[in-house]
Chains A and B, each alone.
Chain A
């Protein structure tokens, strides 16, 4: 388990605060815009930077004052950073050599990791001859070789082609499930964040905004920032909410606050909408009428922009409708999520 207790780190123009627990078998994703402090948290855990205050514990041991080399935490950088002067095998064996693992055991362990990362046969290759994905797997194998107490991954797939990412992600998941070590993953890819994580931590401006399992975060975000960052979202102000069928909401419309009347207080994901034919009513009655203004084609679905009396709404539906067409929008009860 990794624990961050009351961490503060001040850079003058940016400060970071964090309280966080990562469970023993958990894959936790730090997700947020660039500059939100995701990587800083990784670097603090790894020991590349020291907090101004607070404590970091790994497996119950306080490591706050320890240099990185005494923390036993694996770290994988975005651009692999394989040592250019060492072969694949020697890169993987680097940490074992440091630990003075006997040659025989070292060879065995390197074999294990080559198998685990599906790189068998690559042992003597020069790292410069590998593809991006292969290099990334070597970097992962190297980090895992000394059996670290935790694994930290800083946007490990961002330098890799989109097509290759899928298999690498599955790979990472398999390895993490097999080894069962606490893993922290930094990304700003929404797909990666939702797909990989046991738990998702949303960060903004150096602070943790909220955390939870991906589904909760996606469907019931606490903040507008989270809602928008995890996917596209139609937003509604208090004024607009009152004009919608009440049962669309997942709670009672709050009494008018004193805050900003133009601030959205509820969100609706585009895929919740359904088109219903004219005359037909939705599953629970009550529909919105509108006209299609734009069609974005994504293969298995389309993203329509529909002009309604409440303004433009994003709707994700099957392909088939065209611009100018009049449609009726319905959605199941409780689809609109009230923030907070």
Chain B
């Protein structure tokens, strides 16, 4: 018991020790180098700028709309996922994650390619579509990113609802619609809220999407922090904006949590009995609706991504490999592609792969340690602490690490640190879910048979959890591989990964080569996932 009492405190202390110094460094940036009067003046001038408040308003608005949309779109899917067994359920779950693990830049290219000027939609319906070059485009991209997140969280919450409640409700004569409103809704409110909050935070601190999309008019605070730091070279300004962003994020999240908690939406933990029903238990019209729903969601998520692929293979209206030829050692106009990207393709590949592997190793093993020692008891406050990196923007954290440790720790290691901290909250959640496959009793049994904890790790924990561990690792890997923020902020262009190369190509207006690089990236990630999936199944079949 004493160890389980200590674990939460110990973990939060270590966690805060990693996060707080860089964040505080950014928040207090400029304070040390200037006199107090000068500093206060600078802070005031930032806060007096109308653009600051415009950015804040826009940040909140787009995040709220994106989160509400993501949750709304995800609810029917979550219901189907959590209540019915149907063919392709697993595939849908994996596929829905695809946009989330794509670099933001690919998603942007996809959105523009589909909805934008001369995009597929424009060509189909005619007319010059420009709505995408505004906040709407940002919201579309954010929703594409986050539907899978909402889907997972809500479906997970729904699966926790004891199935027997449904039987009781049915036996009392309640109709399905009433049941949905009066029984299910209150029970899944906590997961709806947590899905909303997580998606909101993701969008609130979104960087890549807004950086490329928004221009000056639609900048979020996150982009402003970056600009203040690296374009205006105003440390105090960056710190002030970061503080503002953090304060607002914290305030909004606490407010939402307070409001929903007050409504008495307690967590449901009883029973956990759950049976997925067969697909054909769904009435025929409902089945048709469900198929329609999946088709629509599928279109929304994949039609734009598909245009990326199609366009990459198109030149002057016909099939062509010209973009790929350019990418693999060719040139655009007078400039070598490798010169634009400032790195050779194999080098980009190795850097991306190496860093993502390290980050994923770090975040998933940390997540495992935390999830394991907190499995029986995760206090609410600690859950909040561990979710903090979502509210602390990637730019702030990366900037802080750079300011604090640049020159002491190699840039690569700093990026790995930033990536693993940023990925931690979701990786941790993911891991916690998988850990349910191994109840504490198994470990106790092992120990009563004389196995030490380390021995148990290799003979019971890893083999039993193998699939979950690999799954979490792959997820962490993909998230780190797609990371654009910390590589750009810490690496400052010297370290070139896929997203950075893509960013440069877009900046040089070589969209076609950027699309080709996007396709290479997708193939690459797909291949890794495929290999991981195959090997983990084989291992399982071999009984390892």
Residue of A whose beta carbon sits closest to that of B445: A81
Q: Which of A79-93 contact B (CB under 8 A)?
A: 79, 81, 83-87
Name the prevailing secondary structure of the B interface residues: helix
Bound-state Cα–Cα, A48 to B449, Å: 12
Task: Tell me whether A143 and B449 are in contact in the complex, defined as CB-CB below 8 angstroms, given that A50-B2, A87-B543, A98-B455 are known contacts.
Answer: yes
Binds B, one of A19-27, A67-75, A244-252, A279-287: A67-75
In the complex, the number of residue pairs spanning A and B with C-beta atoms less than 8 Å apart equals 75
Residue of B whose beta carbon sits closest to that of A85: B463
Residue of B whose beta carbon sits closest to that of A79: B441
Query: Which residues of B sit under 8 angstroms from A47, Cβ to Cβ?
Result: 447-448
Residue of B whose beta carbon sits closest to that of A83: B460
Q: Once the chains bind, are A95 and B449 in contact (CB under 8 Å)?
A: yes
Task: Tell me whether A77 and B445 are in contact in the complex, defined as CB-CB below 8 angstroms, given that A50-B2, A83-B464 are known contacts.
Answer: yes
Task: Tell me whether A98 and B451 are in contact in the complex, defined as CB-CB below 8 angstroms, given that A77-B441, A86-B543 are known contacts.
Answer: yes
Query: Which residues of A sit under 8 angstroms from B2, Cβ to Cβ?
Result: 50
Partner of B464, one of A77, A85, A143: A85
Does residue A142 face the partner (Cβ distance < 8 Å to B)?
Answer: yes
Query: Which residues of A sit under 8 angstroms from B452, Cβ to Cβ?
Result: 67, 69
Task: Tell me whether A85 and B544 are in contact in the complex, defined as CB-CB below 8 angstroms, given that A50-B2, A79-B441 are known contacts.
Answer: yes
Does residue B131 face the partner (Cβ distance < 8 Å to A)?
Answer: no
Q: Once the chains bind, are B464 and A81 in contact (CB under 8 Å)?
A: no
Query: Which residues of B sit under 8 angstroms from A67, Cβ to Cβ?
Result: 447, 452
Determine which residue in B2, B448, B453, B464 has the highest number of CB atoms from chain A within 10 A of its CB, and name it: B448
Query: Which residues of A sit under 8 angstroms from B451, Cβ to Cβ?
Result: 69, 94-95, 98
Q: Once the chains bind, are A71 and B448 in contact (CB under 8 Å)?
A: yes
Query: Which residues of A sit under 8 angstroms from B442, Cβ to Cβ?
Result: 81, 83
Does residue B177 face the partner (Cβ distance < 8 Å to A)?
Answer: no
Query: Which residues of B sit under 8 angstroms from A143, Cβ to Cβ?
Result: 448-449
Bound-state Cα–Cα, A87 to B542, Å: 12
Q: Kindly state the interface size class of chain A when it binds its partner.
A: 20 to 34
Does residue A221 face the partner (Cβ distance < 8 Å to B)?
Answer: no
Task: Tell me whether A94 and B543 are in contact in the complex, defined as CB-CB below 8 angstroms, given that A69-B452, A83-B464, A84-B464 are known contacts.
Answer: no
Q: Once the chains bind, are A68 and B464 in contact (CB under 8 Å)?
A: no
Q: Once the chains bind, are A85 and B447 in contact (CB under 8 Å)?
A: no
Task: Tell me whether A98 and B449 are in contact in the complex, defined as CB-CB below 8 angstroms, given that A46-B444, A75-B444 are known contacts.
Answer: yes
Give A96 Cβ to nearest chain B Cβ, in Å: 9
Does residue A146 face the partner (Cβ distance < 8 Å to B)?
Answer: yes
Does residue A49 face the partner (Cβ distance < 8 Å to B)?
Answer: yes
Query: Which residues of B sit under 8 angstroms from A73, Cβ to Cβ?
Result: 448
Does residue B88 face the partner (Cβ distance < 8 Å to A)?
Answer: no
Does residue B439 face the partner (Cβ distance < 8 Å to A)?
Answer: yes
Does residue A99 face the partner (Cβ distance < 8 Å to B)?
Answer: yes
User: 1/0 contact trace for B433-449 toward A, CB 8 Å?
Assistant: 00000010110111111
Query: Which residues of B sit under 8 angstroms from A95, Cβ to Cβ?
Result: 449-451
Query: Which residues of A sit under 8 angstroms from B460, Cβ to Cβ?
Result: 83, 85
Bound-state Cα–Cα, A50 to B2, Å: 9
Query: Which residues of A sit under 8 angstroms from B459, Cβ to Cβ?
Result: 94, 97-98
Q: Once the chains bind, are A98 and B1 in contact (CB under 8 Å)?
A: no
Query: Which residues of B sit under 8 angstroms from A74, Cβ to Cβ?
Result: 448-449
Q: Which of A85-115 contact B (CB under 8 A)?
A: 85-87, 94-95, 97-99
Bound-state Cα–Cα, A72 to B448, Å: 7
User: 1/0 contact trace for A19-47 toward B, CB 8 Å?
Assistant: 00000000000000000000000000011
User: 1/0 contact trace for B412-448 toward A, CB 8 Å?
Assistant: 0000000000000000000000000001011011111
Bound-state Cα–Cα, A97 to B544, Å: 16
Query: Which residues of B sit under 8 angstroms from A146, Cβ to Cβ?
Result: 449-450
Query: Which residues of A sit under 8 angstroms from B449, Cβ to Cβ?
Result: 69, 74, 94-95, 98, 142-143, 145-146
Give A258 Cβ to nearest chain B Cβ, in Å: 42
Task: Tell me whether A50 and B450 are in contact in the complex, defined as CB-CB below 8 angstroms, given that A68-B444, A77-B445, A86-B543 are known contacts.
Answer: no
Give A71 Cβ to nearest chain B Cβ, in Å: 7
Bound-state Cα–Cα, A143 to B444, Å: 12
Bound-state Cα–Cα, A328 to B198, Å: 75
Bound-state Cα–Cα, A145 to B451, Å: 13
Query: Which residues of A sit under 8 angstroms from B447, Cβ to Cβ?
Result: 47-48, 67-69
Bound-state Cα–Cα, A49 to B3, Å: 10
Task: Tell me whether A72 and B444 are in contact in the complex, defined as CB-CB below 8 angstroms, given that A50-B2, A83-B464, A85-B464 are known contacts.
Answer: no
Task: Tell me whether A46 and B448 are in contact in the complex, defined as CB-CB below 8 angstroms, given that A81-B441, A81-B442, A98-B455 are known contacts.
Answer: yes
Task: Tell me whether A68 and B543 are in contact in the complex, defined as CB-CB below 8 angstroms, given that A50-B2, A98-B455 are known contacts.
Answer: no
Determine which residue in B442, B446, B450, B460 has the highest number of CB atoms from chain A within 10 A of its CB, and name it: B450
User: 1/0 contact trace for B443-483 toward A, CB 8 Å?
Assistant: 01111111111010001100110000000000000000000
What are 14 inter-chain pairs, A to B, with CB distance below 8 A? A46-B448, A69-B452, A70-B450, A71-B448, A79-B441, A81-B441, A83-B442, A84-B464, A85-B464, A85-B544, A98-B449, A98-B451, A99-B450, A143-B449
Binding site for B on A (CB under 8 A): 46-50, 67-75, 77, 79, 81, 83-87, 94-95, 97-99, 142-143, 145-146, 148, 152
Binding site for A on B (CB under 8 A): 1-2, 439, 441-442, 444-453, 455, 459-460, 463-464, 543-544
Given contacts A69-B449, A85-B544, 16 further A-B contacts (CB under 8 A): A47-B448, A50-B1, A68-B447, A69-B453, A75-B448, A77-B445, A81-B441, A85-B543, A86-B543, A87-B543, A94-B446, A94-B459, A98-B451, A142-B449, A146-B449, A148-B448
Leading 9 A-B pairs by shortest Cβ distance: A95-B449, A68-B447, A75-B448, A98-B450, A69-B447, A81-B441, A98-B451, A85-B463, A81-B445
